[in-house]
Structure 1
Amino acid sequence: MAGIFGRIKRQADAPEAEEEAPAVAAPIAASDLARRVELLDSLEETGVGWFWASDAEGRMIYCSPAAIAPFEITPDELAARRITEIFEEERKEEGKGEDTGRPLKFLLAARNSLAPTAVRVKLGKGDTWWEIAGKPRFGRDGAFAGYRGTARDITGTHEERRKQERASQYDSLTGLANRYRMSRMLDQTLKAFAHAKRSCALMMLDLDRFKQVNDTLGHPAGDELLKQVAARIRRLLGERVEIGRLGGDEFQIILPDVDDRGELGEMAQQLIQIASQPYSINGSRAVIGVSVGIAVAPYDGIEPEELTKAADLALYAAKGGGRGQHRFYSRELRDQASFRHQIEQDLRDAIAGDQLRMHYQPIVNARTHEVACMEALMRWEHPQRGMISPADFIPVAEEVGLIREMGTWALNQVCAEAAGWPDTVKAAINVSAVQFAADDFVDVVRKALKRSGIDPARVELEITESVFMGDVERSARTFAALKKLGVRLALDDFGTGYSSLSYLRDAPFDKIKIDQSFVRGCAGEDSNNLAIVAAVVSLAGALGMETVAEGVESKDELAAVTRQGASHLQGVIFSRAVPGEEMLRRFEEGDLVFAPRGPERYRAERRTEFRRIGLIHGDHRYNVFLRNLSRTGAKIEGLLGVEVGTEVVLDLGGGQLAVAAVRRSDGAVQGVEFESPLISDGADGLCTRHRVSPYQIELAGKPLAALGDDPYAALMTMQNRAPKAFMEVQLD
């Protein structure tokens, strides 16, 4: 096959020189076509560079013989194919790669010049990669005449480049995207989605108790665990999302086009559940948990840093709420983060300043309702803030390393106070996993018993299943040492995520506490909780253990768990936790029986609240007070003249609008039923599935931004023309 430029034959009749003249440098002039063509043909023959050409129809009319030789294709066969059939540009995954500019097909159709571009050559089997470049050619009449271009084989270097590129973007341990790639993907996604008015959710995941696996089984086991966690996440979510490991035990997930918090909550719970199943690592068994924080663009942020910070705050709240939870970002979390920081500073002075108190909740005999045990619950009486909930300060104490010191104080305080109770009443003391794992824990218990003089058989240590996440053999030795001291052991919160029958087989427990999540609503016709309660009671009975049904609130629950044979009961139906002084006075009076006082039937949990919200009806927004809130409805106060059947919208704050209908109306008090039930926010709160979109606010003439304090107000551009239908009343 002749060269693309042809070969020009030297003139045969050119006279030969009789004598060789000294060599003289003769530059190749632009007009010397023969020597220029010879030069290009020589280059083509060496294989250093190849040439290709197409006609005006995009058909390949020439390609250097050395280039197409490995493909065993004739020039005629080559000419039957179009450039776009031969060259396939390397494509990035949609939404997952850098913007490399216009695609090759577009450039060819627009007759633009082609910068050096890596393409896969589709002329045979296997992957062959060339780097091509080219320019369009036009005739004297301006008509397009096709492309003329160059090519070179880059198969070897291309594969190496791809490996290096992957190494720079993917975590070598798990195969997931690394921090750099996730940051780049989030930035590109948010920019593109803001322009297209699309949403994008961001999940932050952090493994619970991963450090214990590293410390007890070693770092190779920790690495293997991370690989298995990554595989489970990928198996659950598939290829529809971008999953990354940011480092350590922290993962991140980008979920495009998802803003339904109900769907996100279900996905988070699936992640928590699948990641919490036991792992088999080199013959050892490991159990961890996971906490999840969720933020959604553009609601919670439109810039990558803003959205990431929001998801981080949600994750922090999930871990602070007891771990193994998911939380959605809300503006209140910023205030809570500041509050937690202040708690951390003040907590260090709580013990020295005599600010901690022990309150006690009775555990009664199921048949006689006589108190058998008192569970000790720590309270913090802050000099300025008043009583601070354990849910607020216990997680902080664990994070800053104060939980062992506080646990030691509690052991000594409870033993000292319980020594003055009737001999028939035991004291139950909660023990954290950190405290249990301490080398001196058994010695701390021994000293507390000796100092107080209490009978060890009257002391129960309540231990959660999280203590089994560490060194199993060490835990067994600690259990044995505690039983040798004579104290009782209770397995707390049984059945809440990490349960294993091996715990009951291997640990010498005297009592199982059935978690309140199985007791709540167990008397309902459609509830499976009662069957779970019955199974645990039966199991405990077979093992010679007592059972405590926690969280009994209503008389139908009381009757149900009593029928199933629970030996002991605990809950507000008998008493809330009260100060030790108050309980001591009752004991001194000989009053050991707690009569049940509570509602006849269990009601779906309602949050008792008292806060101002907005009620929207017609063109008007009214100020009302929210008294309580459930998934299906709410109680409000503050309006007169509201008829049953009236349709309203409750503005619950943060862009949460709940469509509702009035079902009861008595003066200034109304009961409303929601059109769509609220969902859990992952903790004790409720939230709507959807919120006012910042894109709607942008259409109203406002700049695009995350939701502010009053998103609905930004949409109120209409003029109030109709008179108000209701009268607002002032509440005390």
Structure 2
Amino acid sequence: MLTGSYDYSLVLISLLVAILASYTALDLAGRVTSSQGRGAVLWIGGGAIAMGIGIWSMHFIGMLAFSLPIPLGYDLPLTLLSLLIAVLVSGFALWLVSQPEQPWWQLLCGALTMGAGISSMHYMGMHAMRMLPGIDYDPGLFYLSLAIAVAASGAALWIAFRLRHDTPYVRLARSGAALVMGVAIVGMHYTGMAAANFPLGSVCGAAIAGLDSRWLASLVIAVTLAILAIALLTSVLDARLESRTAQLTNSLEQANQELTHLALHDNLTKLPNRTLLEDRVDQAIHKVERNGGCFGLLFMDLDGFKPVNDAFGHHVGDLLLREVAQRLSSHLRTEDTLARIGGDEFVLLANLGEPDDAVTLASQLVALVGTAFMVGGQELRVSTSVGIALYPGDGATREELLMNADAAMYHAKGAGKNGYSFFEQSMNTNARNQLQLLHDLRQALDAGELELHYQPKFAAADAQRVIGAEALLRWQHPRRGLLMPDQFIALAEKTGLIIPIGNWVLNEACRQMSRWYAEGRDDWRVAVNLSALQFCHAGLIDSVRHALERHALPANCLTLEITETTAMQDADASLAILRKLAEMGVDLSIDDFGTGYSSLLYLKRLPANELKIDRGFVRDLEHDSDDAAIISAIVALGQALDLRIVAEGVETESQQAFLTGLGCDSLQGFLFGKPMPAEQFMVGVEALA
């Protein structure tokens, strides 16, 4: 027998190539599994080529490491055929690992198929030497090499399937597995080589026309390492891209979820908002239509919330709303929906076993809200009025149900608050009137239906001398006639229409005052009331400036009246706004003084020019000594702060005498004149002259 020898440097290289090929195979299995459709097909195809070349190269380098005392070579077609077998086997392995499951029978069949393929590749490569006479194989070692090929293939498939997903430390696990697999593959190869016996006198038929082994080892090693490196680098880069894409996708999904949550929930209380409530009401209607049963809509509005808000500020008011929402939510069933639909209004959508269950539920809500709240170290008390609409019975659509529950809530308020009321059809009349009035109010500005009436102001020391007028809003409704502010201002404030209406009042009052100024009434001032919402609006300063500029009116001819409560609800913010107005030269008046919650410290800082005594004190002046004492104190306070004192609601001569004696600067009331249109106002003034 011819005795062979090995180049141990090539043997070591073949082992390293086997380990690298194994790691690449495990990594590519992960890429195939994480891809779909065309991407998976491309990874199987490309991976089969890279992995097949890696396995074949290990085998071929191992053969090139072997030498005999005769010249050796390799038949090119047979060598390429062994390479093709390696590629096909690798593709089969990657496809098998990409399957969603790996039952034992599939693993066994795959191991046998792969083992047969790898063995075929090895022995086809051996046959490519074309030895004459043929290679004599030791049966024991030959079958051992086959068994090693099948066992190594089965282990490789089992390991690759379990390490195909990216998990923590997966690359470390793949490295260890690649080492084991590489040793197994090399063991199969060299066992097969050990089984080969070469008789004396053997000749290599491929030594002359076949591949020359002198330079082939270097070429195979270089090409193989390049291909495996490219495949591995591509896999790693693709994995990183996939990871970043997944992170971006997760971030986008999270952002979408957050945006959806924000769109469907109230920002302050985190409760569902009107949009989500309406959707759930629709679902509840469909559920009742399919399965029967009933549900109720309980519309809640907090009683006494506005005084709390005015007295302690919006920050405390917001905290109170959160506390109310939390208390109500903690006592609800999971299948019910509590929503905040605006301001201090909440709606509960509740599944009911029987319609009468709504009574128990409404009573619980009233009791829960009626218990004191601790907010910011303050013990605050509010109550709630609840309106109940039932389905079926009180409406066919969610719009009708919400409108009818709202109407029932207003009825509960009118009945004394802190209670509940079921919807009755007669309540719809008032609700529809409110809706119609709102519709008409939206058109009133464009239709020119709003107008200003003017009530004269007189000097207290000279009751014949007019010193200006207060502009008072009226609505000449086409069907209802002349409407006073108390019939529509609350509706305008609730819907935000007060802003454009307030701007119109401001502009119209300045227009009229500019006429009077041009007629020589340059010592007059026109007073305009600002609502709380208008005073807090960001565009107030610009609206005042534009109105004055548009009508070329000196700023000191305009007096802006804000209530004491409005000025005090956020004193620091009010101070900033009032200072800007004062810098423009506008006259500032604190209206309804004595009825709110003033802080003398803040009042001293406010750049006001006058205090206006509320008509409630003037009305009972002659019969209530307390009112007389309060007015005396207000006048003394105003004089101490160097403010003009205006008393409104003067209706009798004794009231006039008392107020003049105290030192009031100006008076207004029915004793001197009622509010009237500008033309009639001037007729009355000229008659006095």
Greater relative contact order (Cα < 8 A, sep 6+)? 2
TM range (shorter): 0.3 to 0.5
User: Normalising to structure 1: TM-score of the pair?
Assistant: 0.41
Larger radius of gyration: 2
- Is the helix fraction higher in 1 or 2? 2
- Is the strand fraction higher in 1 or 2? 1
User: Normalising to structure 2: TM-score of the pair?
Assistant: 0.43
